[in-house]
Amino acid sequence: MMFYPLASSTWDETEYTALQEVITSGRFTMGSRVRAYEDAFAARFGKKYAVMTSSGSTANLLALASAFWHPDLGWRQGDEIIVPAVSWSTTYFPITQTGLKLRFVDIDPATLNIDLNKLADAITPHTRGVFAVNLLGNPVQADRLRTLCAKTGILLFEDNCESMGARYNSEMAGSFGLFGTFSSFFSHHICTMEGGMVITDDRKLHDTMISMRAHGWVRDLPEDTHLPLDEDPFLRQFRFVLPGYNLRPLEMEGAVGLPQLAKLPGFIAERRKNAAIFQRDFGQLDFLDIQQETGESSWFGFAMILKGRLAGRRGSLVEALREAEIECRPIVTGNFLNNPVISKLDHSIGSEIVAAERVDRDGLFVGNHHYPIEPQITRLREVVQSVADRF
């Protein structure tokens, strides 16, 4: 194991016991444990509904595809969704897979979230919403963003896959708009092996997601759903009303989700303690910038954007970190517009892209953990300083 890895296990015997209970039960497909986890998750984040999926990526797919088929929204293929220029690939792919069009806006160089000063000018008559991304644990300025969306008549939704447990003005990140998505992959704040979640207060969106998650059928929906139900219960079990997928999670994932969710507040508290040390040691250096916290970040990791004598020298730093057994990686995907796949995605650019280019060229991040890592941060500081001193 590396001295300072990007991620580490959050499990103990509680999770293994939960898995064994599923094995003993013989029920492995989605069932009562998934439903219990969904209920607990909705309650934790203050929403009426939560729908678990097979991953954070499929949570994005499910939410966006279900919004497309929402009977009250009236989205059409070719409508635009505004996105930040820095995020994970599956923030973007479900938008174009649904027939919508990406519209890219630069990020704020301080927070690394979408630049709200550039967002308003990017809105066109075809814009239907903004898919805000809470990057590396840092929540967007929800009050300002909601005001902008209300003023311009577009919707707000969140990719919160990297920021479970973050808060802004006492509200939980992921709960700011029509829906919010979460990931519980190994490297994230809690782990259900694979797994994702969508939360919402919108009943029609919820019912659409239940159908879309499982083939587009209406099984398990209540009588008062807005979706059409066949009067014959025999036919109803296999009646398809939407062009759905199979995005269902496993019962094991729901089972381990329950104890992991209970541990989340403790995990976030430790991550924030580590972040305070990182901010103290790295916040005033003249050769790099760190991500500026908005609200209460859940600190997925610690971003560094090189400047001054380290600008353009990321390769030297990466090599030194590797030798010191400190794992690092680019800041998510960097400027996503520089990825070759962009030629295959219907998109437009709604602002000048400057900050995302700098992140692409000079950005990297190291991990944070749910346990104290002051020795690792101290060693990180020593290695970074040693590289800066060469130039």
Domain termination site, one of 259, 291, 321: 259
Question: Among residues 148, 149, 173, 151, which one has the least CA distance to residue 160?
Answer: 173
CATH code at position 212 = 3.40.640.10
Catalytic residue among 70, 188, 206, 370: 188
Q: What is the mean pLDDT of the chain?
A: 97
Same domain for 248 and 333, yes or no, is no
- Do 54 and 112 lie in one domain? The reply is yes
User: Same structural domain for residues 38 and 186?
Assistant: yes
The residue whose two tokens read 């308003």 is: 120
CA distances from 233 to 215, 217, 220, 230 (A): 18, 13, 11, 7
Contact indicator for 240, 229 with CB cutoff of 8 Å:
no
Answer yes or no: is 6 within a domain: no
Q: Mean pLDDT over residues 106-112, rounded?
A: 98
Within a domain: 312: yes
188 is catalytic: yes
Condensed to tens digits (0 to 9), the pLDDT of residues 295-333 reads 999 999 999 999 999 999 999 999 999 999 999 999 999
Amino acid making up residue 223: E
Q: Residues 103-112: what's their mean pLDDT?
A: 98
Indicate whether 109 and 51 sit together in one domain. Answer: yes
Per-residue model confidence as pLDDT tens digits over 371-385: 999 999 999 999 999
Quick one: average pLDDT of 357-361?
98
Residue 36: per-residue pLDDT = 98
**pLDDT, tens digit, for every residue of 256-291?**
999 999 999 999 999 999 999 999 999 999 999 999
What is residue 360's predicted lDDT score, i.e. its pLDDT?
98
- What integer is the mean pLDDT of 61-87? 98
- Are residues 251 and 295 part of one domain? no
State the residue range of the domain holding 313.
264-389
Q: Domains in the chain: how many in total?
A: 2
For residues 156 and 275, state if they share a domain: no
**Shared-domain flag, residues 70 and 87:** yes
Residue 7 lies inside a defined structural domain of this protein: no
Q: What is the pLDDT of residue 63?
A: 98
Domain check: are 165 and 277 in the same one? no
Question: Which of 235, 259, 283 is the last residue before a domain boundary?
Answer: 259
Residue from 319, 254, 246 nearest 19 by CA: 254
Give the model's confidence band at 42: pLDDT under 50 very low, under 70 low, under 90 confident, else very high.
very high
With respect to residue 334, please indicate whether it lies within any of the assigned structural domains. Answer: yes
CATH of the domain at 305: 3.90.1150.10
Q: How many residues does the chain have?
A: 391
Q: Answer whether residue 1 shows pLDDT above 90.
A: no
pLDDT at 45 over 90: yes
pLDDT tens string 142-168: 999 999 999 999 999 999 999 999 999
Handedness of CA 53, 55, 61, 63 (dihedral sign): positive
The residue out of 223, 241, 259 marking a domain boundary is 259
Task: State whether 132 and 104 are in the same domain.
Answer: yes
pLDDT band at 132 (very low <50, low <70, confident <90, very high): very high
Q: Are residues 273 and 254 in the same domain?
A: no
Average pLDDT over every residue of 185-213: 98
